[in-house]
Amino acid sequence: MRKPRIAVVGAGPSGLYTVAALLDATVDGPAQVVVLDRLPAPYGLVRYGVAPDHVKMKSVIRVLQRPFTESGVAFLGDVPIGVEGLPPEVLLRHFDAVVYSTGSPVDRRLGVPGEDLAGCYGSAEFVGWYCGHPDLAGLNPALDAPGVAVVGAGNVALDVARVLARRAADLADTDVPPQVLDTLAVSAVTDVHVLIRRAPQHVRFTPVELRQLGELDDVDVLVHDDGQLAAGVPASADKRQRTNLAILAGWAGRAPAGRRRRVHLRFLLSPRRLLPGGPGRVGAVEIERNTVDDDRVRGTGELTDLAVGLVVPAIGYDAVPIPGLPFDERTGTVPNVAGRVVGADGTPVPGTYVAGWIKRGPSGVIGTNKGDAAQTVATLLADLAATPRRELPDQADLADDLDRYGVRPVDWSGWLRIDAAEVGRGRLRGTERVKIAELADLRAVAHGRVVEPSR
């Protein structure tokens, strides 16, 4: 019997852990796998979500790249699937199974008036900008006011607060694109207000990330909790919660030490409205004091305005429906049973699987995707073993179909050209890599043109 042919859509951690699990499995020998991504570069959120100063976290790339470097798995980047690209049914014609690991790429909305004012960017946008995501190369946020508000108490809120609080010079030895460094270098920000709707015991930070905030050069971290922690740290059976509380209690009651920037962790506050400061641009956020009963947040009606020129809600991500596949708007996931996509009546959608955030929602760290991918692959292989292998078109026909839909893919050697160009730009700045953010430049480099950096 011929080897199963499988497409994995999305070259982020969940997709690439799926590929690794597929290669490990030995049903009729390892599967023939093709990885497609809508961007010319692989690695998804490791490249476009992990904060630039979390260099160690990016070293997982050494593991994620193995299917391409050691097992000859094909990479087809710059291949959109869905509305403006290849329809899912075309993919299914070429493969025995398709695994979608397309993540949760868009922001959850705050749902308050003024959210659409310029100067309010969801964390997917803001993080995408400083990570050099081609969709956000032109975001160009104005950091011209002393106050900024970051909403949320998860690790993404911490990443955003840290990047805004750090000196640009301290980020020069990371991979941030030059235009990001330029914007950060002229930042007028002095006060980063992290607005947290519940109490210190409810934060979702991981302690390592929280502690890092207190280790930044020339930054005061100030806790505004109405003296709650000073009056007594709540007991907790949960280790992460206990450690977070101990860190926060260590900062509580501290007076500013006159450092250059301040990060204010403000508890029991929710944004109610974003108010304009200039034409169409955010100038303040109206916040309401909350109480929390049985973990439920209630507004007290006590309102104040906080002057800010930038608001970044970091309140979680959402997925984008894949045309032709079922989608649960409430959870932002594709309905599935152990990775097998199912319709509203529970009937499996033939040959179609999901892994990662599109499968389980936007939570967990990079490593969480490993077990998640293994589950999807086990389901997929069980289905394959129970299904007679059908005739598939010649592999070369996929190239014809891509051509027909106007897609010019970037293959692995194209990505290696981007990689080499970025490493070259890094050498000029004295760092490991400087990302190319513009899509046109990524494409040009991938297809063999020499593109000089604009500066």
Residues that bind ligand NAP (CB under 6 A): 110, 151-157, 159, 197-198, 202, 204, 206, 209, 270, 314-317, 362-365
Q: Phi, psi (5° rounding) for residue 201?
A: -75, -5
Query: Other CB atoms closer than 10 Å to residue 55's CB: what's the count?
Result: 14
| Residue closest to ligand NAP (Cβ) | 154
- How far apart are alpha carbons 191 and 143 in whole angstroms? 11
How many angstroms from the chain centroid is the CA of residue 350?
29
Which residue lies nearer to ligand NAP by CB, 155 or 187? 155
Q: Using CA atoms, how far apart are residues 14 and 404, in angstroms rounded to an integer?
A: 29
Residue 103 or 414 with smaller CB distance to ligand NAP: 103
> With respect to ligand NAP, which residue has the nearer C-beta, 204 or 261?
204
* Shortest spacing between CB 140 and ligand NAP, in angstroms: 23
Please, which residue, 94 or 198, has the CB nearer to ligand NAP?
Answer: 198
Give the bridge partners for 221, in sequence order.
263
3-state secondary structure of 95: coil
The burial of 311, by beta-carbon neighbours within 10 Å (0-12 exposed, 13-18 middle, 19 or more buried), is given as buried
Q: How far is the CB of 272 from ligand NAP (least distance, A)?
A: 10
Cα separation, 118 vs 381, whole angstroms? 48
In the complex with ligand NAP, which residue's Cβ is closer, 137 or 153?
153
Residue placing its CB nearer to ligand NAP in the complex, 156 or 437: 156
Tell me which residue has tokens 């309102």: 303
| Least gap, CB of 332 to ligand NAP (angstroms) | 12
Do the Cβ atoms of 22 and 35 come closer than 8 Å? no
Residue 154 or 309: the one with the smaller Cβ distance to ligand NAP is: 154
Shortest CB 126 distance to ligand NAP, Å: 12
46 within 8 A of 61, measured Cβ to Cβ: yes
Distance in Å, CB of 336 to ligand NAP, minimum: 19
Alpha-carbon distance 65 to 404, whole Å? 29
Helix/strand/coil percent split, the chain, to 5: 35, 20, 45
Provide, rounded to whole angstroms, the least separation between the CB of residue 290 and ligand NAP.
10
How far is Cα 43 from Cα 132, in angstroms, rounded to an integer?
13
